[in-house]
Amino acid sequence: MSELRKEPVLQRWVVVMKDHQPRPLERCPFCPGSESETPPEVFAIRPDSTRRDTPGWTVRVVPNKYPFLRIEEEPAKRAYGLYDRMNGVGAHEIVIETPEHVQHFATMEISQLAGVLNAYRARMLDLRRDTRFKHIVIVKNHGPNVTALPHPHSHIVALPIVPRRIDEELKGTFNYSQFHDRCIYCDIIGQESSRKERMIAETDLFASFVPFASRYPYETWILPKKHSCDFGQISDAEIADLAKVMRQVFSCIRVALNDPHYSLALHSSPLQEQYRPQYHWHFEVRPRVEVVHGFEWATGLFIHSIPPEEAAAQLKAACEKVGD
Amino acid sequence: MSELRKEPVLQRWVVVMKDHQPRPLERCPFCPGSESETPPEVFAIRPDSTRRDTPGWTVRVVPNKYPFLRIEEEPAKRAYGLYDRMNGVGAHEIVIETPEHVQHFATMEISQLAGVLNAYRARMLDLRRDTRFKHIVIVKNHGPNVTALPHPHSHIVALPIVPRRIDEELKGTFNYSQFHDRCIYCDIIGQESSRKERMIAETDLFASFVPFASRYPYETWILPKKHSCDFGQISDAEIADLAKVMRQVFSCIRVALNDPHYSLALHSSPLQEQYRPQYHWHFEVRPRVEVVHGFEWATGLFIHSIPPEEAAAQLKAACEKVGD
């Protein structure tokens, strides 16, 4: 069971899990043959000749056995003195990205990576039919320091609130569009595409670069060039192109930084009454090469010593080494 | 040299350091006898019989040899396409908290801890005379994972901007005071003091507790009970009491969590035209026991599995074990 609590000063929600004790695993629950170790699949890419929850799949999505939010609950918002709390209602699913226990976005077949993106889209479209959910987050962690299970997987989390970071991006996007009547992300893509100094990979449909004011060294964004607020609306052709760009970006990161731990996050518009056409969906990648000291925590002011242009140059040089 | 860059969407500043390569150290530059290894001291508690920059001090403050902001610059704000940048103007000083190379707030003499707090106050009052500085931050990191130098020290950083986190707290404080005509921190202290379920240490002048919606497990705050926005205005009597409370809190943390790495931050009102009497200064302590996964980074929504009441109970039990 978990609970959402609101920080009264900053007005931001925090998830407090109770009785969270996943048991140690004897074998990988995500490998083919272990299908019964997970809850029944909610999506899979598999030949028609294979049965649900048996081997043969190439991508498989299952509810998380140890979710930090549960679909069975009602939010039940309530006061506690001057504080606010609500039940941890939500959904928490796992995308098992490949049957292979050891694999990487940098080395995966492009068609396999496209399958993962397909699974993201399919689950986003399905989960949003539950109108209790205000936002869907997709996050992937790679590397032993950031995930307990080595088998490649991503998390899809449907939330009863719009999380702080997305809300801040919506506000920034809205303010800019009020002032300029343009999308700030479209303008950023324009500037990065013309100056190239921070660009890592670019096609007709997508651009990937180190942002001008990256918070973390080697932070990398991947955005569609055509304005769209909603990853759920991505076309098959765009998925095919995005898979290529992602493989190239992850190859750069893997080679330049010696297979670092990293986190990947999809930022897409919230849902229902909070759907915002002004927003521009994108992926953010954070290679875990830095140590976050106390200053960032204390102030929210991030400091690092790799200028984004230098980071982009290193990543690009690695790209050129591995080729396309 | 460093530069401040503004994230265009989130409108938050990031510090990008250039050519940051501190040399490896052969001996501790903060131990007595190494005074010439640091820039000349700007404050010290030492007997009148001793000379500046020689041994004999009990607390010593020096400019950081490798500052990430420099006092000699003008901000020189400028555009870069649609982006904003400015020079890294600021001050970065180090408080050497004790002549002892190995020491801890949990075991330090209370008078020594009061000396450190005195140094904080003295430097805050001096630095604010430079009207380029909009905010002063004090941060301490303890433990090999969060600081390179083991000798106990804190950072005092004067900034040309109000950092994001403080700005958010000011907004929350202001909104609450508009609605209730009261200070939200005063109300929080009232609720925590009456219910006690998250209280760690309490005197007539100070309260220390795990906040209701802590972002991190065992996060602990220390606040003055009397409303004050400005640590610079703390009295000698308050410093003496605060030193006692801090030693107790750090004892609890040290015993309960087996001497964890931690960060400590002073949150006090910004300066000059951004001085805000509605604010309530306080210390925040973040024991470094958690692993921050990708989800918090992706969403700004924090998740942890130690309910604050349970954290407070563990810390309090440790307090009782060590006594006063």
Interface residue of A301, A302, A309 to substitute, partner B, most B CBs within 10 Å: A301
Of A153, A180, A261, A293, catalytic: A153
Q: Domain residues of chain B, as ranges?
A: 25-324
Interface residue of B179, B231, B303 to substitute, partner A, most A CBs within 10 Å: B303
Residues A53-101 have pLDDT tens digits of: 999 999 999 999 888 788 777 778 888 888 999 888 889 999 999 999 9
Domains A2-20+28-159 and A180-322 share a fold: yes
Residues B100-148 have pLDDT tens digits of: 999 999 999 999 999 999 999 999 999 999 998 999 999 999 987 667 7
Which of A65, A58, A5, A55 lies closest to A35, judged by CA? A55
Nearest CB neighbour to A263, from listed B215, B286, B297: B297
Which residues from chain A sit within 8 angstroms of residue B264, using beta carbons? Answer: 294
Q: How far apart are alpha carbons A233 and A85 in whole angstroms? A: 34
Distance of CA A123 to CAs A195, B9, B265, Å?
Answer: 37, 28, 41
Nearest CB neighbour to A298, from listed B15, B83, B137: B137
| Structural class in CATH, domain A180-322 | alpha beta
Nearest CB neighbour to B263, from listed A6, A263, A297: A297
- pLDDT of A148 strictly over 90: no
- pLDDT of A29 strictly over 60: yes
Give the pLDDT mean for B49-78: 89
Which of B65, B69, B45 lies closest to B57, judged by CA? B45
Of B142, B153, B155, B293, catalytic: B153
Helix axes A184-195, A164-180, angle to 10 degrees: 80
Task: Give the chain B residue whose CA is nearest to the CA of A20.
Answer: B305
Q: Do B169 and A10 touch (CB under 8 A)?
A: yes
Cβ atoms of residues A201 and A319 within 8 Å: yes
Measured between CA atoms, how close is B46 to chain A, in angstroms? 29
Mean pLDDT of all residues belonging to chain B: 90
DSSP bridge pairs for B159? B135
Q: How far apart are alpha carbons A158 and A156 in whole angstroms? A: 7
- Single-letter residue type at B67: P
Nearest CB neighbour to A82, from listed B68, B187, B294: B187
| Structural class in CATH, domain B25-324 | alpha beta
Which residues fall within 8 angstroms of residue B290, CB to CB, at 6 or more apart?
Answer: B216, B217, B304
Residues B291-314 have pLDDT tens digits of: 666 677 777 777 777 778 888 878
State the pTM of this model: 0.89
The answer, for B6 touching chain A at a CB cutoff of 8 Å, is yes
Q: Do B294 and A264 touch (CB under 8 A)?
A: yes
Task: Give the chain B residue whose CA is nearest to the CA of A263.
Answer: B294
User: Is A293 an annotated catalytic residue?
Assistant: no
Which of A196, A15, A173 lies closest to B296, judged by CA? A15
In chain B, % of residues over pLDDT 90:
63
Q: Compute how many other C-beta atoms are within 10 angstroms of the C-beta atom of residue B200.
A: 27
- pLDDT of B92 strictly over 60: yes
Distance of CA B196 to CAs A234, B202, B210, B250, B256, Å?
Answer: 52, 10, 10, 19, 19
Q: What is the DSSP string of A184-239?
A: HHHHHHHHHHHH-TTEEEE-SSEEEE--TT-SSTT-EEEEESS--S-GGG--HHHH
Q: Do B15 and A294 touch (CB under 8 A)?
A: no
Q: How many residues does chain A have?
A: 324
Among A26-35, A253-262, B143-152, the least confident range: B143-152
Domain A2-20+28-159 annotated CATH 3.30.428.10: yes
A75, two tokens: 């939010």
Q: Do B7 and A165 touch (CB under 8 A)?
A: no
Measured between CA atoms, how close is A63 to chain B, in angstroms? 17
Q: What's residue B205's pLDDT?
A: 98
Q: Do B303 and A191 touch (CB under 8 A)?
A: no
A267 is in an annotated binding site: yes
The answer, for A304 touching chain B at a CB cutoff of 8 Å, is yes
Q: Do A215 and B81 touch (CB under 8 A)?
A: no
Please tell me which residue, B42 or A80, carries the higher pLDDT value: B42
Helix axes A236-256, A308-322, angle to 10 degrees: 100
Which residues from chain B sit within 8 angstroms of residue A292, using beta carbons? Answer: 292
